[in-house]
Amino acid sequence: MFRCKYRTMVAHGVVALACVPAAHAWTSVAVQAPSARQGSGSRFPLLLGTSWYPEQWPESRWGADLDLMQQAHMHVVRIGEFAWSTMEPSQGEFQFEWLDRAIALAAQHHIAVVLGTPTAAPPAWLTYRYPDTLRVDEDGRRAEHGNREQFSFTSPRYRRFAARIAEEMARRYGHNPNVIGWQIDNEIGVPSFDASARQAFHRWLEKRYGTVANLDREWATQYGPQTYDAFEAIPLPAKGERSALMLDWKRFVTDTWISYLEGQIAVIRANSSPRQFITTNTMHWNAGFDQYRLHRHLDMAAWDDYVPDGHLDPVLNAAEHDLVRGYKGRNFWLMETQPGYVNWGPINVTLPRGVMREMAWQAVGHGADAVLYWQWRSSPNGQEEYHGSVLGADGLPNPVYPEIQQIGAEFERVSPALAGSTIQAPVAILQSYESRWAMDLQHTRNVDYVRRIAGLYRAVEPLAQAVDIVSPDAPLAGYKVVFAPALSVITTATAAHLLDYVRSGGSLILEPHSDLKAAYETHLSALQPDPLAAAQSHIHGKGTITWMDASLAPGRLRSSVRGTLENAGVHPILAGLPDGVELMQRSSTTRWVWIIINHNEVAASVDTHHPGMDLLTGKGDTTIVLPPHGVAVFALARPE
């Protein structure tokens, strides 16, 4: 018996601008994944799902859980990322029969599965028998068993165990039609400072520089007693170390995480169908490694969106979606988001009613093809047992369930209209991890890299209504304007890439703290700006380079940005929106879909100026009235 009575809603679909009943045919599973390794995630239907941990509960309960998921219109679950001790309870003894049954039962409920490799949570037998696999922090303290991510990312032994469990899983499920994808590990990012990391770092430096003399020259070690005569003499970095060492450490950490993931990716790809995608889940503005470089090895990006204080900043959240979409330049998944509240913030406040729906549709508007809630049911024990969940520990629906159920029904209704759609932005903001690392190392809090990016985004996004946040080496040909805030570390190759964009007619906007350092975090010897050699505003070929101070007060910055965009021919998709109302456009070959959200606490009215239909209400009015936190999904035919 449940706290509330719920009924299964009939799915609806959309063909062009007309609603018709039951357009979906959810057959044996919710998703028959396309060749994900070759195409964009946008080919997936729009999915709602959750993280499900069947190993934590009696098997007799699984059917009831899946019934409730089905009634909430969920069509995907993530399973397994913390279940290593259940999959391999002792060394070399693999037990997958329970997982076989969980996957099969999910399929009977028309729910597909993303399998997580469980390497974020090594079993006790592994870390007890092999303490060399445990991570060591900067102060020399070795991690203990009992949390997560307690392993050393350079440990050869741990990597062998990680690859083995991934391979066993792939052999068993790599061609299972009910498994649509893989998540490698979980929220990676914490480095280790153990003996294997020290050895690996020295080998990495030797490969990069060849000789210590070359390293001394590139690092400019003449300052202070920092000249080295052997790679082994170079310490692992700690706070306050020379910036060139720290910058190379971050590059090493990036390469190490890439090789760590590749160890699992290789065995999965060798034993699985190309239709199964491979991803990992990332966190907010995490700069522990270069996300752009790492994502070149994955099929799509996915991230975890949480608001611990319960107060959504919709513009900052939008920027984070656009950042993740920029990792691969294509649609992404929201692999985790909170059902109400979290338990790890300084103050854990539940989201107001309607904000979960607001967040879900904002994610879709910025390119998400799936939204999954963490977690399905409160854990019976552990450090996150008080985290928000869809069901309580008693197995009954929490108050968030009806709102999630509404989101799922709306996703089913709108999914056909979004098939094949992507975000097409006329403006890009360049985000450089190397520049961020350099600024974090040697600047005061007044020069905060993320704040600089976010401040510029707040000025640009309402005027352009579509922005990509991409790497400085990303293809730039399709953008009318490219902003490069605080691009302090720049190579000759990057400068040439930017100048090619300008010569072809692009508008490049630089700002102070750009073009200050070479690749090794040493000052450029010539007067700045050296590689780009620009004046305040200078024409190169068909385009222009302009310097603009992004640290201006918000009003002045927005005025400056407005003039820059207008000069480049960038105009809002729909002008005249009330403050606090966001419009996002997803485009396919046949239609535009506008997702319009009122982020305000009061109602707002929007005049679309175009004939179309709100797919959520079935109404075709050109005037849309949105209640507080309200959403409209407005479809209109794309002009030929």
**Which of 81, 88, 336, 410 is labelled catalytic?**
336
Helix, strand and coil percent figures for the chain, each rounded to 5? 35, 20, 45
Q: Give the number of other Cβ atoms within 10 Å of residue 149's Cβ.
A: 17
The neighbouring-strand residues paired with 12 are 21
Q: Give the number of other Cβ atoms within 10 Å of residue 310's Cβ.
A: 17
Phi and psi based region of residue 367 (left: phi greater than 0; alpha: psi -120 to 50; beta: remaining): left
Place of tokens 């984070």: 320
Burial class (CB in 10 A: 0-12, 13-18, 19+), 233: exposed
Closest by CA to 481, choosing from 515, 452, 505, 457, is 505
CA distances from 150 to 120, 147, 157, 411, 418 (A): 8, 7, 14, 38, 41
Residue type, 180: I
**Which of 81, 88, 187, 511 is labelled catalytic?**
187
Q: In the numeric block, which tokens belong to residue 423?
A: 């975000």
Place of tokens 């018709």: 20
Q: In the numeric block, which tokens belong to residue 288?
A: 């522990």
Q: In the numeric block, which tokens belong to residue 246?
A: 């720290």
3-state SS, residue 432: coil
Torsion of CA 455, 456, 459, 461, to 10 degrees: -110
Place of tokens 């929220």: 187
- Does the annotation mark 336 as catalytic? yes
| Cβ within 8 Å of residue 57, ≥6 positions away | 65, 377, 380
Instruction: Quickly list DSSP for 560-587.
Output: HHHHHHHHTT---SS--PPTTEEEEEEE
The neighbouring-strand residues paired with 332 are 368
- The catalytic residues are 187, 336
